[in-house]
Amino acid sequence: MNLVLPDWPDYELLDFGQGEKLERFGSVVVRRPAPGAQGPRRNARLWAQAQLVYDRRQERWHRQGRLPDPWLVSWGPLVLELAPRGAGQLGVFPEQAINWQWLLDQQRLLQAPPEDEEDRGLLNLFAYTGGSTLAAAATGAAVAHVDSARSVVTQARRNAQHSSLDQRPIRWLVEDALRFAQRELNRGRRYRAVVLDPPSYGHGTGKRRWQIQRDLPELLRVLAGVSEGCRRLVLLTWHTRRLAPQQVQQMAEEAGLAVPGARWESGSLFLTAACGTRQLWSGYVLRAASAGS
């Protein structure tokens, strides 16, 4: 299944190639690295318009002129703030909007009152600046937002304010994903929905580093426990080609993470370039939601 980002007025992939992408976020044209963006560029003239450029060799941003302050983009019920960050990041992964829409589509399932008092709603791990958290919160779900980086959790809270969703039942947690899920399991807490977007490599809050190929099977086993008896939705995205969707589906099944009565859907997330019909691969997805949602 190929999932392509639909038109989004505040975002465009203008062109890509030679390891970089050229994008528009609101009124700002940005040029930054994209390892999967191979092949030639289509429109050399467009690249000269970039106002914000991430230099791969110097590992720093260069800007021409002033950026909007705050620099906001809107998507559906979400209003998200951007800023130049390390490693060419801006605080929003646009392909995730495909997941935000899917979460909005699961509103009935997510907003249903808990059948069990230990059902805490939706657990979002590696939750970054809160796109999926806020989409789920917009449906009426209670959400636990977990990320090991304090700066991104602070940004996520600001995004909740920008989106007027800051009064929703969201717990903001600066925690290691695996350790937090394990503690919730030990405390007898349960979540009907689990959402995770693990990086290939990452830092937890302690010394232990996250490595997707080593750590994902254990995390999926813990998540199966934490959602046992009330599991109705699983949404997993990742960004390494070394793990195929079939492998991750098998891992999830071996962990016992299937959603009762639901089929897995899996495939790739794509951004389409505005100046042609080319598509940029931006990650894999594996998801399932109870029928009747």
Ligand X SMILES: C[S@@+](CC[C@H](N)C(=O)[O-])C[C@H]1O[C@@H](n2cnc3c(N)ncnc32)[C@H](O)[C@@H]1O
Least separation in angstroms between residue 24's CB and ligand X is 18
Asked whether position 203 contacts ligand X by CB under 6 A, the answer is yes
Closest to ligand X by CB, 41 or 248: 248
Least separation in angstroms between residue 180's CB and ligand X is 8
8 Å CB contact between 233 and 108: no
Asked whether position 128 contacts ligand X by CB under 6 A, the answer is yes
Asked whether position 187 contacts ligand X by CB under 6 A, the answer is no
Least separation in angstroms between residue 91's CB and ligand X is 9
From candidates 76, 202, 217, 256, binder to ligand X by CB under 6 A: 202
From candidates 23, 81, 119, 176, binder to ligand X by CB under 6 A: 176
Q: Compose the 35-74 pattern: x for residues touching ligand X by CB under 6 A, - for all others.
A: ----------------------------------------
Asked whether position 106 contacts ligand X by CB under 6 A, the answer is no
Angle, alpha carbons 129-216-118 (nearest 5°): 70
CA nearest 216: which of 194, 200, 229, 235? 200
8 Å CB contact between 141 and 120: no
Closest to ligand X by CB, 41 or 210: 210
Which range of residues in 45-53, 148-156, 226-234, 253-261 is near ligand X by CB under 6 A? 148-156
Helix axes 212-226, 177-186, angle to 10 degrees: 20
Residues 145, 128: Cα–Cα separation, whole Å:
9
| Residue of closest CB approach to ligand X | 202
Least separation in angstroms between residue 178's CB and ligand X is 6
Q: Compose the 209-228 pattern: x for residues touching ligand X by CB under 6 A, - for all others.
A: -x------------------
Asked whether position 184 contacts ligand X by CB under 6 A, the answer is no
CA nearest 264: which of 224, 234, 240? 234
Closest to ligand X by CB, 12 or 147: 147
Residues 80, 161: Cα–Cα separation, whole Å:
9
Asked whether position 131 contacts ligand X by CB under 6 A, the answer is yes
Asked whether position 155 contacts ligand X by CB under 6 A, the answer is no
Which range of residues in 44-52, 69-77, 103-111, 147-155 is near ligand X by CB under 6 A? 147-155
Q: Residue 56: which residues within 8 A CB-CB, separation 6 or more?
A: 19, 20, 33, 88
Residue 71 identity: W
Question: What is residue 290's three-state secondary structure?
Answer: coil
Asked whether position 147 contacts ligand X by CB under 6 A, the answer is yes
Residues 121, 282: Cα–Cα separation, whole Å:
28
**What is the DSSP track for 157-212?**
HHHHHHTT-TTSSEEEEE--HHHHHHHHHHTT-B-SEEEE---SEEE-SSSPEEEH
User: Which residues contact ligand X (rule: CB under 6 A)?
Assistant: 93, 96, 126-128, 131-132, 147-149, 152, 176-177, 197, 199, 202-204, 210
